[in-house]
Structure 1
Amino acid sequence: MILFADKEKEVKESKSFWTSLGKNVLSKSGENSGRLIDIRFLSGNLAGIIVLKRFRRIYFSKEHLKPDSKDRLLLKIDPPSNLLGKRVYDKNARLLGSVSSIQVSPGTWKLIRFWVKKFPFSPKIEFYPQDIETSLKNILLKKDYAKRR
């Protein structure tokens, strides 16, 4: 190998592109945000990564990656895309369904609203971020949800 670097240590400590493919990407809270399927470069510099989660491709820019993680890929944020597929319960622990879709502010990761469906052909129920009390494995809402008649 011919080295064009100031330090030999620089080559030994750097990580190969191929060893990262297929690894899980973890959010700020340690939740799985998907599996790395592509790394994007712009003018020879890292621009971002593309992650696959539940048949959806999600792009994270370089600003959202933690640079100090060597063994795994970590994000600085908890992306709203992690809500997709989670079960939603109201204040009285009644199952309302699962998150079927989300809406984020264009160009940011700010969640505007999300929709919940119980069955594939049931109507969607709309909720807002301020309605969420906790969002770990499931989503628990702050209020009781009464069905509209």
Structure 2
Amino acid sequence: MCPIRSVTALLFILTFTPALAASAEWQIYLIPSTGAKVDIPVDIFTEDAGPPEGGVGRRFFTSDRRADLTVQSVPNPDNDSPATFLAKRRPPANIQYKRVTPRFFAVSSVRNGRTWYNRCNRVGAYMNCVMINYPAAEERKWDAVVTRISLSLSQ
């Protein structure tokens, strides 16, 4: 790793705290075709990574690419319940957190040193989803960001 990147990564670790998340610049991201919307900390996820696979929406990265966020609407042509939709995706067996209701599901675990979190809300012909990946060693630092993004997902 080049010295500048090492310093940037260290500064990110030292300055990225829940207090920073609370004072982050948040903007609403909207998927016009489905009405899905979610709060995004635009000063944390600064890089546009283009459209996601398998749905409409957008992917974002932190400037150092240590974390990413995907906001997307995934087709749900059979109007599956969140439980059925999740089961059809065949999630890994080692899920550490799982909550399924008639309205949404949220799952999370750790893979290859990275925490991943996925929440999808059922909205008729779509499941509106957010997916976040970040270093597992920084989980506590990401809690406030993940919570706000997750709870802001609507439509």
Counting helix residues as a fraction of each chain, which structure ranks higher?
Answer: 2
| Higher normalized contact order (CA 8 Å, seq sep 6+, divided by chain length) | 2
TM range (shorter): under 0.3
TM-score under structure 1 length normalisation = 0.23
TM-score under structure 2 length normalisation = 0.23
